[in-house]
Structure 1
Amino acid sequence: MGLRQPVYRPARRPGKHRIQRRTRGGSLRRAGDRSGVPPLLRRESGHAGQLSEGSKMRRFLILFLAVCTACAAWAAPRITPDGEILCGPLRLRLAWFDGEWRMTGQERGTVFPAPGYPLEQPELFELEGTLRLFHDAGELRLTERVELLPGALKYRAALRGKPGMPCRSAALILELPVAEFGGKTLKADGRPVTLDAVSPAAAYPELRAERIAIPLPEGELVISGKLTGYLQDERNYGGNFYSLRLLGTPEPGAETAFSWELRFDGIETGVTLRPADKAEIFPVDISRAANMAWRDETAGDGKGGWTDQGENDVRDLTPGRQVFFDVPFELLDPGRNGGKSCMVFSGPDREYLLKSARIDGIGRRGERLYFLHALSWAPEDVRTVATVEVAYTDGTAERLEVKSNRDVCNWWSRVRADNALIAWRGRNPQSETTLYLSGFALDPARTVESLKLTPAGSAVWMVAGISIGGEVPALRPQIRRKITAGKEFRPFEQQFEVEKDSALDFSFLNHVPAGKFGRVVAAGDHFEFAERPGEPVRFYGVNLCWSAHELTHAQSDLLAVRLARLGFNSVRIHHYDMMLTERAQNRLEFDAERLDRLDYLIARLKEAGIYVTIDLYTTRIPAREDVPDIEIRSLHDFRAALPLVPSVRENFKAFARKLLTHRNPYTGNEYRREPAIFSICVVNENLLPAPWKEHPQLPALYRRAFADWCAGKGIAVPAAFDDSPEFRRFLLDLQQQTYDRLSGFLRDELGVRALLSDNNNGESMSQTPERATLDYTDFHGYWEHPVFIEKPWSLPHYYTQESAVRREAAVPRLGMACRILGKPYMITETDYCFPNHQRGEGGLLLGAYAGFQNWSGIYRFAYSHFNTAMFEPAACTMFDSVRDPVNLFADRIGALMFRRFDVQPARRSVPFLFTSDDFPGYAVYPADYTRAGLLTGIGSLDASRGQTFAGLEGPAVVTAPAGKAAGVKTVVAVDDKLLAGLAAAGAITLPRNGVYRSDTGEITLDSASGTLRVVTPRTEGFVLPAGQAGKGELLELAAPDTFTSCVLTSAGMEPLAESGKLLLFQLTDVMNSGITFRDSENTVLEDYGTLPLLLRRGRIGAALRRGAEKAVKVRALDMAGRRTAELPVSEKAGRWHFTLDNSITEEAVLCYEIERIF
């Protein structure tokens, strides 16, 4: 890998979960306009409550009897448009917790009133609408009625969902600020409960009472009825309040429904219900400055819409008056404004867009200038991305700075920053999309005449709307969350080694030693051994990085055996070149001790039947005397200089020569002659368009080389040379030329026979021509690669916390089209990254779809970056699977499925055919074409090189542009009817309602429900969110109580129906103790936490179809494969029934052994 780019914290007692809230100010304040403090735009969510074990299905009555005589602020309740009740410092709202314990609170951004609501009168407030749950968990019907009576307040509300909708709890939450209630004593049926003002660790009893009295400055607030609830202290996690949660229970009937009735008595007479204060805010007309539309038709053509990335746009944004957090914006209709609706400013890769924009004739005063906006190609740190010059009518002016990751963030992420609220959420064929709301302080005493907006060039800035006016009411700060052991998670100790000959010993898959059948060769679309022609072989491996190669001999002995038992037959030696040379004066001398350790490790891997792939350049920085004509400061400099600076190329060759001609004393072979080293990546992640501008010397070299290239083509040098189609073509030609030079050196001068590859990152169609010349295609793809919010490779990180299944298997789908048909394909870096809570789905996704597309290699990034972490327990981090049992066991599933060829390859293929003359810029493959990869085989062919493939004889090909596939039955062009065209040609069956079924019938993905079903003769596997059941041919699963990846597979090579020993995997989630997130959706990671690891508890009912066996035994296994407990099994109606429970023993249970007794 290049150096690039739920939470539910149970308290100590069952049934208690903690809310956390930061105490940073709460409104669009005068964001440090004079003091330098950034504006705070935050909102709050809550946290998971839980139904009491003793709660029954009943409707209950809650009476609030209030004596509020302290002051008018306490006596006059206020109601927000979303139905929250605010009374002085008290806040009352509803909350829903889905099957994964993810909370959605009643607040701005989640409540969507029905037309005509809310109804607001002096003595009545009524609300009807929907509560839209986070994480695509569905919608609820919300009704609320608040009636003011003489001296009293009546409240009624209900939340109703579809039948069977997963719900852990619905709660009414009353927040009690510490400042007002710390040290005060509540009474539950007369029993005193004192809120500890000093220690946030105080434990509180569960509240079961008919009367709860809460003291006020004068008098008390009395809640009466049949009450079940609990108190929580939120100061542990940044909050400044206690929370009282009164739990509801489902109403009778088919719906999942909860209801509440409340009465407040003692309200001061003569007051009226009043809405929360609203500021007067006016939209600014940007129609004359707008330069782009919401929708873009053709990527990279310099016109059209949004960021000029084709379907990667905001076409689902609705024009007209839109209100976000009480701030109105007027979103332009491009059909009424000459095709223009927004302002998009120039930046990286889009220098042809707006250089500046001036908006005149504003004529308004206000405390705030509001922007609805986002960034593309955004910096990972906090830096100025634009300036806004505000001119007042009195001749004065001021300058505002718009900063990334403070005022605005990337439109593909959903990161909340200090002055960037997530205002609008959308989705296009490639990604979820976001627009942010920001507020900047103005001088309210002066009238704004005009604005001048200027980008800083560090990002593409997209402005959808501007408004001016007063401050919005207080916006609640975000809630931090921390996970510790409790009812939801339980601690366990990790185990590294696998018991020999246990059910989890997969070393039987490996032949020994590696190289036994000669070298690996590329034979059409697969690998095979030279001495076993016609027999395809696949590799499932891991990356070892940095000090993970630096092992003692004893550690290498242990690791090689361990990796084989885990099911791996390959290792990628990565990020080793810096380690090998960093102690040397000239960076071309190898450290003798480290080289010896690398030699020994490779020898032991070979002995265990594990093949090696290696990169010749990853991170090594040469000494200045080795490349005297240019300063190499980073790996990016090296990769950018390699094509044009002869001394850098010679340095590359010198390192490659020294390494590949080195004789390993433990194998007796030079690296270039070692059959166990089967493939070489020439330069890791070396796509040229990105890094060359960042070096002070390189731009001049690139300009000169481009001028020479243009002269050779007989064309003039374009004025905007580095943003022209010609320059992009030049870069790709240069990349091809560089690979040809370096691969020629390896083949012709060094005699290297290992398979060679290059250009392994990126999804651009323009990479296909070079990839077509490689021995095999290599690709890197991640689900939930961290987004660095403030500083690269440092906390905090952003994650979407989405399931890849709900995103139509985005990984591995987005890499499918990059494959060159007719050649082997490997993905040498992939990960479903921690701390995504659904990452256990990765093993089944990879094992299924990589097999379906007939790929040849899969490599987890990474097994480890550190030697110590492989032998001593350590907390999970973003990549290393050795620390993460979920990904480690997901790879057990993937390795078995992929290496045994469990999934049938697609029955046909639909090639993406184009010539190098069709050069499509840097556009990625159309999303609909990648979706076809869930239905049939896909991949690319460069017709200009005379490539052919059996799929060309099939029913259809896809071309860009159309009409360049003579002799093919049907040619389908790239447009929004692509899938329909393929279906009409008989190449695919159209997906319906988000359900994709492979043409083999073995894989069914339902993106709407978030489920995956894979049924083959050797394996039956399911990805199941809470509340979703699964059924295969042999295995039937009841709906689990938490997100679960559950896979039944043969423990050997036999089909399930004939195997006497089966394995059943149950993967939920593993977190670190104390892991902390900034927000209620667990998207911003602030602290990794520590040991011990915590396993999310999970139960799921299972039934296995009875065959010829007389009985079955189901045994829980520990991580080493040892049997730890036997589960009760019953037989009914021809099926064996049992319940999986991963907390049945003290050890973590991620897999069970099923023995059939015949």
Structure 2
Amino acid sequence: MRRFLILFLAACTACAAWAAPRITPDGEILCGPLRLRLAWFDGEWHMTGQERGTVFPAPGYPLEQPELFELEGTLRLFHDAGELRLTERVELLPGALKYRAALRGKPGMPCRSAALILELPVAEFGGKTLKADGRPVTLDAVSPAAAYPELRAERIAIPLPEGELVISGKLTGYLQDERNYGGNFYSLRLLGTPEPGAETAFSWELRFDGIETGVTLRPADKAEIFPVDISRAANMAWRDETAGDGKGGWTDQGENDVRDLTPGRQVFFDVPFELLDPGRNGGKSCMVFSGPDREYLLKSARIDGIGRRGERLYFLHALSWAPEDVRTVATVEVAYTDGTAERLEVKSNRDVCNWWSRVRADNALIAWRGRNPQSETTLYLSGFALDPARTVESLKLTPAGNAVWMVAGISIGGEVPALRPQIRRKITAGKEFRPFEQQFEVEKDSALDFSFLNHVPAGKFGRVVAAGDHFEFAERPGEPVRFYGVNLCWSAHELTHAQSDLLAVRLARLGFNSVRIHHYDMMLTERAQNRLEFDAERLDRLDYLIARLKEAGIYVTIDLYTTRIPAREDVPDIEIRSLHDFRAALPLVPSVRENFKAFARKLLTHRNPYTGNEYRREPAIFSICVVNENLLPAPWKEHPQLPALYRRAFADWCAGKGIAVPAAFDDSPEFRRFLLDLQQQTYDRLSGFLRDELGVRALLSDNNNGESMSQTPERATLDYTDFHGYWEHPVFIEKPWSLPHYYTQESAVRREAAVPRLGMACRILGKPYMITETDYCFPNHRRGEGGLLLGAYAGFQNWSGIYRFAYSHFNTAMFEPAACTMFDSVRDPVNLFADRIGALMFRRFDVQPARRSVPFLFTSDDFPGYAVYPADYTRAGLLTGIGSLDASRGQTFAGLEGPAVVTAPAGKAAGVKTVVAADDKLLAGLAAAGAITLPRNGVYRSDTGEITLDSASGTLRVVTPRTEGFVLPAGQAGKGELLELAAPDTFTSCVLTSAGMEPLAESGKLLLFQLTDVMNSGITFRDSENTVLEDYGTLPLLLRRGRIGAALRRGAEKAVKVRALDMAGRRTAELPVSEKAGRWHFTLDNSITEEAVLCYEIERIF
């Protein structure tokens, strides 16, 4: 093993000035302003540094003695990139410091670099000149953009205030100015020496010479801190058995809890907490305070007998149902023994954050990380200043009611030094990303022209009808049809006629056969001060757009209410201030209902001059959502008039049932039942108006947001089920819909295809199912996986419609290049091409539907509040067909005679062989009944054998006669029947598919997609893990470079040609191809041309 030796030589006077070295429990070495630590860069250049929160010492470590520090443990990499074994030994000798360290990972673990980083603060080193083997390298004090040469030397000298620091040995490394990424230092990165053997391993050996004789190694100073006893105030346990039953643990959400939290003394960032064992405290371990949907929890808590002084009061805590902005979520009244008191405010997104996210805020450090069956989980550490001269007698904790506040522990004592500011990351063109120009239009008859999938015009075969579990055309009975579309929002409907002509043709060539007209209603009325008068120009543009879409074979689905705020004159008995007010008032305020009807009548009876049809008679408008996202636990409490109306209506409902009004009012199961009845009643009224008074024949739906089991009864009465589901929807940290945003940067595959999986159970079996809003949101670096995930699992579950949210919110962005934003795919080539994959797979029925279905039976007696479906039931959707039935209405479907059904709570089902309870043995019960094959080690294989998801490795494999597709993290290879892929050098979604309707084995033209990542120039994140977005950046767009070796099994063809395509489908370059051992070999390289390459055309010459 080649090792290098680093000698730190410094004069004694310099050592005295800079003090003795200190070492943290995580192994960082601090000496004056210098900081020395290890860092690992994974296959996508994500850095994990040696610091608090990433280093997890083994039992008994670190070993700390005056002259020796030893550490063994684990370095947990960000973004689920794995774990490394970390060893470190620091030995103090007379006048010297010896340092040895190693990082070792599994064989083949992706690694761009492993480095020992020495941080040189700009304040001390700006303008100073380093010498590498005598060659001067001056650190630019002014410009962070200065370039520095690669360092290959045997001696590097760094000037100190007195003397110099000399690093000697066989050195390889480089300098980087961290001011470009929000830091205030230069980093000298010395690369580790690769160790031989199967492991991915690097090692370092250093010697610091010139350390002042007689000093001792000393740990970083630790404050004296004492845990506070909260045992008497605790009201919940760490673990919850039954969701929504008002008792048990955590937030009363069943398995969505923190059962993996270890009781006992736990230390986070040098702050000790005593985490209670519920088995020794009457089943209670933590304090959980009342808030939205959990009004029955603690209203306040008082903790007496503290008797301690301290500079800080520390909380280990988190929020659920958290506000999206910064606001007070709780107060803490601190009473001192001298009779004085002070009041502390706990603010969301400053002091504490949502437990399902991992946002580091100003006073909220990510202290504990866990995982339950539904999500990764987080507890935060916060510190609040106290008067250290006074003794704390008691604390009173009071929630504000706008969030559920979970307190796991409290401590009091000295101040813990704040962590250093996070290193911001700005992405620019360079070795990782390259700039390119976006293209909008698709060349006619090119390999990327998918308009052949559409018949023209839309409505050619009559109206769309629901036929059992699918859609079909009235004049083509027995032939299922599916829709793959996009949302057009706000001014995206407001197009010139020429723009509509262009857009309709473009969307058809992109593979879409449907558009959801969304967020349009306010646009029609706002110029008339929201009176029921449509803007003539905007209505004309909407008419023309719909006509052109129809001509291109594109069907329309539309909402009758999204964002429109009616004028006070039109609803005189209540003020509607927001869309939330309208939706909450609609069930109980007659004038609001009449306003809804008046708008619907005016729109649906309007005759489109360009089609000649009224909207209600237009076969191309095939479906209507009555009210968008109208789940009734809406914020009706926030309106000054609505609470009284709801109380009165609830009292009438109770009287009709012959029951007393519960004292808890809206905190009772009865009230939740009342809301569901009210929701059903409202839909019946409005749908009855549309059907009976207006004669609307389009399919109707409603209740399209939420994953609650209790939504089943109403959804069972709809013509089709509609659902909304997002992967990486932005979390707004300070202000709704404003930067900064939080993203996990996780792959949905590693979360067991959370989208679309979490929506699978919401389907009503025996009815069509559409997801009219879904997105894998920018700037998630892995969002290219979405097309394959949707195309595979929506087909497997036999859904009927998929709609990206959104194609665009703005008209200009559809015709002029613009930087990517959180939703709009027109700006984002990754999502645009992911939809090419999804559209082909889904519309061609490439994936076989599941061979059987396991229903979830819901009866009127099985009322689970607003609890979501058990995670294990949704996981069954990766193995076989799932969906819900409302047994209270006698609902049935063709697959009910299958091997098993699931009920919650455990119950019986007439005529069913096996009934499986929705508990922690659910999957085992289904396997015992022969309904599924149990997943093993995170590997889920569909009962058709076509889809294999490995959540542990983060890979997805889909192999069908027309398509073979793979989601591959860096370092993971893939193999299908025809296509074999070497391990890519970055996260890649790679899909081979027929360019037409033929199977792969018979097709003369194939498409091979290679999706990595696209970012904006200068996009800036608050942290090195890219989880907190601060600035979207600008044009030009940047494509993440990617290479991947591919081999195609040879068939009857004599030769193949592989050509790179631009975004328009034009051929731009031909790749070299060789033949060996019955396979055609070539290398995909998305930087082979100046244009962005996201797809290749493979021509097979027979």
TM over 0.5: yes
Work out the CA distance in 2 between the residues paired with 1:594 and 1:511.
28
Aligned partners of 1:68 and 1:74 also within 8 Å? no
Work out the CA distance in 2 between the residues paired with 1:473 and 1:599.
63
How many Å apart are 1:388 and its aligned residue?
1.0
How many Å apart are 1:474 and its aligned residue?
4.2
Work out the CA distance in 1 between the residues paired with 2:739 and 2:418.
28
Please, which of 677, 681, 685 is the counterpart of residue 621 of structure 2?
677
Deviations 1:135-187 (A, max 9, x none): 12111111111111111111111111111111110000000011111111111
**Residue 15 (structure 1) aligns with:** none
How many Å apart are 1:961 and its aligned residue?
2.1
Identity of matched residues, %: 100
How many Å apart are 1:691 and its aligned residue?
2.0
How many Å apart are 1:793 and its aligned residue?
0.4
**Residue 519 (structure 1) aligns with:** 463
Aligned partners of 2:1045 and 2:1083 also within 8 Å? yes
How many Å apart are 1:1037 and its aligned residue?
0.2
Deviations 1:774-829 (A, max 9, x none): 00000000000001010000000011110000000000000000000000000000
Q: Secondary structure at the match of 1:1062?
A: strand
Deviations 1:46-81 (A, max 9, x none): xxxxxxxxxxx8433322223352363524100111
Work out the CA distance in 2 between the residues paired with 1:235 and 1:513.
57
Aligned partners of 2:231 and 2:285 also within 8 Å? yes
Work out the CA distance in 2 between the residues paired with 1:76 and 1:581.
72
Work out the CA distance in 2 between the residues paired with 1:447 and 1:692.
44
Higher mean C-alpha deviation, range 1012-1021 or range 400-409: 400-409
Structure 1 stretches of at least 4 aligned residues deviating more than 4 Å after TM superposition: none
How many Å apart are 1:398 and its aligned residue?
1.3
Work out the CA distance in 1 between the residues paired with 2:583 and 2:276.
44
Higher mean C-alpha deviation, range 229-238 or range 281-290: 229-238
Deviations 1:301-344 (A, max 9, x none): 11100011111110010000100001110000000000000001
How many Å apart are 1:132 and its aligned residue?
1.1
Please, which of 344, 355, 364 is the counterpart of residue 288 of structure 2?
344
How many Å apart are 1:689 and its aligned residue?
0.8
Aligned partners of 2:318 and 2:380 also within 8 Å? yes
How many Å apart are 1:118 and its aligned residue?
1.1
Deviations 1:81-134 (A, max 9, x none): 111000000000000111111111100111111111111111111111111111
Work out the CA distance in 2 between the residues paired with 1:470 and 1:1025.
44
How many Å apart are 1:855 and its aligned residue?
0.2
**Residue 299 (structure 1) aligns with:** 243
Work out the CA distance in 1 between the residues paired with 2:294 and 2:433.
47
Deviations 1:885-922 (A, max 9, x none): 00000000000000000000000000001212322210
Work out the CA distance in 2 between the residues paired with 1:443 and 1:697.
44
Work out the CA distance in 1 between the residues paired with 2:177 and 2:998.
55
Aligned partners of 2:442 and 2:506 also within 8 Å? yes
Q: Secondary structure at the match of 2:539?
A: helix
- CA gap of 1:73–1:322, structure 2 versus 1, over 3 A, is farther
Higher mean C-alpha deviation, range 579-588 or range 1146-1155: 579-588
Aligned partners of 2:294 and 2:667 also within 8 Å? yes
**Residue 506 (structure 1) aligns with:** 450
Aligned partners of 1:406 and 1:418 also within 8 Å? yes
Aligned partners of 2:178 and 2:423 also within 8 Å? no
How many Å apart are 1:352 and its aligned residue?
1.1
**Residue 555 (structure 1) aligns with:** 499
Aligned partners of 1:96 and 1:170 also within 8 Å? yes
Aligned partners of 1:59 and 1:251 also within 8 Å? no
Aligned partners of 1:62 and 1:260 also within 8 Å? no
Q: Secondary structure at the match of 1:146?
A: strand
Aligned partners of 1:375 and 1:408 also within 8 Å? yes
**Residue 44 (structure 1) aligns with:** none
Work out the CA distance in 2 between the residues paired with 1:997 and 1:852.
12
| 2:802 matches 1:858 | yes
Aligned partners of 1:838 and 1:1068 also within 8 Å? yes
How many Å apart are 1:410 and its aligned residue?
0.7
Work out the CA distance in 1 between the residues paired with 2:312 and 2:589.
52
Aligned partners of 1:1117 and 1:1151 also within 8 Å? yes
Deviations 1:567-592 (A, max 9, x none): 00000000000001111145211100
Work out the CA distance in 1 between the residues paired with 2:554 and 2:358.
41
Deviations 1:868-901 (A, max 9, x none): 0000000000000000000000000000000000
Q: Secondary structure at the match of 1:69?
A: helix
Aligned partners of 2:331 and 2:346 also within 8 Å? yes
Q: Secondary structure at the match of 1:141?
A: strand
Please, which of 698, 710, 717 is the counterpart of residue 661 of structure 2?
717
Deviations 1:264-294 (A, max 9, x none): 1111111111111111111111111101000
What is the TM-score when the length of structure 1 is the normalising length? Answer: 0.95
Aligned partners of 1:75 and 1:267 also within 8 Å? no
Deviations 1:237-282 (A, max 9, x none): 3211111111123111111111111111111111111111111111
Q: Secondary structure at the match of 1:624?
A: coil
Please, which of 929, 938, 948 is the counterpart of residue 882 of structure 2?
938
Alignment of 1:374-385 (within 5 A): 374-385=318-329
| 2:395 matches 1:442 | no
Quote the RMSD (CA, aligned, Å). Answer: 0.9
Aligned partners of 2:724 and 2:774 also within 8 Å? yes
Higher mean C-alpha deviation, range 267-276 or range 1100-1109: 267-276
Q: Secondary structure at the match of 1:649?
A: helix
Aligned partners of 1:68 and 1:221 also within 8 Å? no
What is the TM-score when the length of structure 2 is the normalising length? Answer: 0.99
Q: Secondary structure at the match of 2:1052?
A: coil
Q: Secondary structure at the match of 1:555?
A: helix
Higher mean C-alpha deviation, range 364-373 or range 835-844: 364-373
Deviations 1:369-402 (A, max 9, x none): 1100001111111111111111112222111111
Q: Secondary structure at the match of 1:981?
A: helix
Work out the CA distance in 1 between the residues paired with 2:19 and 2:712.
70
- CA gap of 1:504–1:270, structure 2 versus 1, over 3 A, is same
Deviations 1:457-506 (A, max 9, x none): 11111100011111113422111111000000000000000000000000
- CA gap of 1:148–1:585, structure 2 versus 1, over 3 A, is closer
Aligned partners of 1:68 and 1:216 also within 8 Å? no
Higher mean C-alpha deviation, range 856-865 or range 199-208: 199-208
**Residue 154 (structure 1) aligns with:** 98
Aligned partners of 1:685 and 1:760 also within 8 Å? yes
Deviations 1:1013-1049 (A, max 9, x none): 0000000000000000000000000000000000000
**Residue 1113 (structure 1) aligns with:** 1057
Higher mean C-alpha deviation, range 464-473 or range 1107-1116: 464-473
Work out the CA distance in 1 between the residues paired with 2:100 and 2:1101.
59
**Residue 30 (structure 1) aligns with:** none
Q: Secondary structure at the match of 2:545?
A: helix
Work out the CA distance in 1 between the residues paired with 2:255 and 2:636.
28
Aligned partners of 2:127 and 2:139 also within 8 Å? yes
Q: Secondary structure at the match of 1:1115?
A: strand
Equivalent pairs counted in the alignment come to 1102
Deviations 1:1036-1082 (A, max 9, x none): 00000000000000000000000000000000000000000011111
Please, which of 6, 11, 31 is the counterpart of residue 87 of structure 1?
31
Q: Secondary structure at the match of 1:863?
A: strand
Work out the CA distance in 1 between the residues paired with 2:73 and 2:601.
70
Q: Whose RCO is larger (CA < 8 A, sep 6+)?
A: 1
**Residue 917 (structure 1) aligns with:** 861
Aligned partners of 1:68 and 1:75 also within 8 Å? no
Please, which of 953, 966, 985 is the counterpart of residue 1022 of structure 1?
966
- CA gap of 1:308–1:586, structure 2 versus 1, over 3 A, is closer
Work out the CA distance in 1 between the residues paired with 2:735 and 2:530.
31
Aligned partners of 1:1098 and 1:1142 also within 8 Å? yes
Aligned partners of 1:65 and 1:263 also within 8 Å? no
Deviations 1:904-956 (A, max 9, x none): 00000000012123222100000000000000000000011111112210100
Aligned partners of 1:276 and 1:473 also within 8 Å? no
Work out the CA distance in 1 between the residues paired with 2:304 and 2:645.
43
Work out the CA distance in 2 between the residues paired with 1:483 and 1:238.
12
Aligned partners of 1:58 and 1:252 also within 8 Å? no
How many Å apart are 1:200 and its aligned residue?
1.7
Please, which of 1021, 1027, 1038 is the counterpart of residue 1094 of structure 1?
1038
Alignment of 1:734-753 (within 5 A): 734-753=678-697
How many Å apart are 1:236 and its aligned residue?
2.8
Work out the CA distance in 2 between the residues paired with 1:1052 and 1:476.
56
How many Å apart are 1:430 and its aligned residue?
0.9
How many Å apart are 1:349 and its aligned residue?
1.2
Work out the CA distance in 2 between the residues paired with 1:477 and 1:238.
8
How many Å apart are 1:359 and its aligned residue?
1.0
- Unaligned 5+ runs, structure 2: none
Aligned partners of 1:914 and 1:964 also within 8 Å? no
Higher mean C-alpha deviation, range 64-73 or range 714-723: 64-73
